[in-house]
């Protein structure tokens, strides 16, 4: 079905000035979801009644003369690993199939206070563990550009919903590329903020030292606006940083003249699809034409990021997912009178967790076990420190570092499902930003001959999202990639 090319800002302005009602905007979005979701499987839960009630409240406040919020009436989808009070929150796992949280994630509170209307929860890889959205207990999400292809993961439902024009914005979470890779695969913008920039309170934890929440939109300006709303220190999250939150929308039109764009050519010199590499080189040329200086930077140990990441994240997953034991909440199996507590634990996890989650829990438990901690986990943390130092040195020469977001275009559903190592390697360009805690963004930078989207990743200094978004906006303005929509019919 066709959908209007509406931005977050356009909707906000229309609702704030009374040109349209928030209820009308919400009703239209719900109709698009109803028509397209059976094909895409982007949503696990659609909360139509609550959304219409929230939209009506926005209209009442505006009619009463109250100042509209910066997201007044904007329909937004939430990844299903973020808690929304009274709304089923599953992390796309059977173990939480009936879980309804009694509280909101901090980012959800920020959105609602800004006037946003939460439409529902988007499908994802189970507990955000995956790069293809095939690990969901509720089935895979399909890429709006090609239904036989993955939308990327783990935030595949959020990416597909935005790309298909079901909503103008969705929130995702990014542990090793789970916002940026699906953004690239679906031809949209995805921002992973600096670690600590956005509160993680209410996010169902996967790897606590890596997880970050960020916006997924159709253009950079919308992402900047939403990031300004959800960012900030939170007393409920001790890892959130006491950094002032600027208006990320300011300076988006300054261009890139005078900026230094670093390119780690040795790192991206092999293993990249020819069409992806061609689109990346064309993007670098666009930056040069726009007045940026292109400089070579060295990240000699970046190739070690994948093994380091999959040791750190699995270790933290093993610790975080130990809480799912069938005692306090979530799935509880039917037990015989003589079954033991250990039987309860075993059957809860066996029935509730999918294969990928089990694989990562076992890997993480192994690397944390006596006799293996120093050999694996400690070395991974040392590599992590080394990567941070290498980025610091690179940022002495460059203001922003450019790479492809993914080494390949969107691959077919099932293509890598039987080979976890090949699946993990799709994150080769994204995991470093999480290990180093750096902000990064993916923007559309072209299409393959088969009209499959390709993404450009830009990485910035700690808490310098402003420069990062400025560079992304300049590139977006010099191309028309972000204006293209999938042929949904």
**Catalytic site positions:** 79, 154, 178
Within 10 Å of residue 366's Cβ, how many Cβ atoms? 15
In 3-state terms, what secondary structure has residue 77? strand
For residues 40 and 19, give the distance between their C-alpha atoms in angstroms, rounded to a whole number: 31
For residue 362 the two structure tokens come to 């076992």
Q: Is the C-alpha dihedral spanning 449, 487, 73, 83 positive or negative?
A: negative
For residues 361 and 467, give the distance between their C-alpha atoms in angstroms, rounded to a whole number: 37
Residue from 343, 321, 366 nearest 81 by CA? 321
For residue 334 the two structure tokens come to 């039917």
Residue with tokens 């689109």: 279
Give all strands (DSSP E) within 90-248, no chain letters: 117-122, 169-174, 189-192, 212-217
Contact 287, 294 (CB under 8 A): yes
Angle, CA 174 vertex, CA 173 and CA 176 arms, to 5°: 155
* C-alpha separations of 5 from 26, 71, 358, 482 in Å: 15, 17, 41, 11
For residues 37 and 142, give the distance between their C-alpha atoms in angstroms, rounded to a whole number: 10
* C-alpha separations of 112 from 75, 84, 190, 301, 317 in Å: 10, 11, 21, 42, 30
Residue with tokens 């929230």: 54
Contact 88, 100 (CB under 8 A): yes
């Amino acid at each position: 079905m066709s959908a209007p090319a509406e931005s977050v800002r356009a909707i906000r302005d229309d609702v704030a000035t009374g040109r349209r009602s928030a209820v009308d905007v919400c009703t239209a979005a719900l109709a698009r979801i109803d028509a397209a979701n059976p094909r895409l499987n982007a949503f696990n839960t659609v909360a139509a009644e609550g959304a219409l009630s929230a939209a009506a409240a926005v209209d009442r406040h505006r009619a009463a003369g109250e100042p509209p919020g910066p997201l007044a009436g904007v329909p937004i989808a939430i990844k299903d690993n973020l808690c929304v009070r009274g709304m089923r929150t599953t992390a796309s796992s059977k173990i939480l199939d009936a879980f309804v949280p009694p509280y909101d994630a901090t980012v959800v509170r920020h959105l609602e206070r800004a006037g946003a209307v939460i439409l529902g929860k988007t499908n994802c890889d189970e507990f955000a563990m995956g790069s293809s959205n095939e690990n969901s207990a509720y089935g895979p999400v399909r890429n709006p550009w090609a239904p036989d292809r993955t939308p990327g993961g783990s935030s595949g439902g959020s990416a597909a919903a935005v790309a298909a024009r079901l909503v103008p914005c969705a929130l995702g979470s990014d542990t090793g590329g789970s916002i940026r890779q699906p953004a690239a695969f679906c031809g949209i913008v995805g921002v992973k903020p600096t670690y600590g920039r956005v509160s993680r309170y209410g996010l169902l934890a996967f790897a606590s030292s890596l997880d970050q929440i960020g916006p997924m939109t159709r253009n950079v300006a919308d992402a900047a606006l939403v990031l300004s709303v959800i960012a900030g220190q939170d007393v409920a999250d001790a890892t959130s940083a006491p950094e002032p939150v600027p208006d990320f929308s300011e300076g988006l039109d300054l261009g890139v003249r005078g900026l230094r764009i670093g390119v780690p050519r040795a790192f991206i010199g092999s293993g990249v699809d020819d069409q992806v590499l061609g689109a990346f080189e064309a993007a670098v040329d666009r930056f040069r034409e726009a007045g940026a200086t292109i400089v070579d930077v060295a990240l000699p140990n970046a190739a070690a990021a994948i093994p380091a990441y999959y040791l750190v994240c699995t270790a933290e997953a093993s610790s975080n997912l130990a809480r799912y034991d069938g005692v306090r909440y979530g799935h509880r199996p039917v037990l015989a009178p003589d079954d033991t507590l250990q039987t309860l634990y075993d059957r809860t996890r066996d029935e509730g967790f999918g294969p990928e989650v089990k694989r990562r829990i076992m890997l993480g438990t192994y690397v944390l076990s006596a006799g293996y901690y120093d050999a694996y986990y400690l070395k991974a943390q040392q590599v992590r420190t080394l990567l941070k130092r290498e980025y610091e040195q690179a940022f002495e020469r460059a203001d922003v570092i450019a790479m492809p977001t993914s080494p390949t275009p969107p691959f077919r559903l099932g293509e890598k499902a039987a080979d976890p190592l090949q699946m993990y390697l799709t994150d080769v360009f994204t995991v470093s930003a999480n290990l180093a805690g750096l902000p990064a963004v993916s923007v559309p930078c072209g299409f393959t001959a088969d009209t499959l989207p390709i993404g450009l990743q830009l990485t910035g200094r700690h808490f310098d999202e402003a420069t990062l978004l400025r560079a992304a906006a300049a590139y977006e303005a010099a191309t028309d990639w972000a204006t293209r929509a999938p042929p949904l019919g």
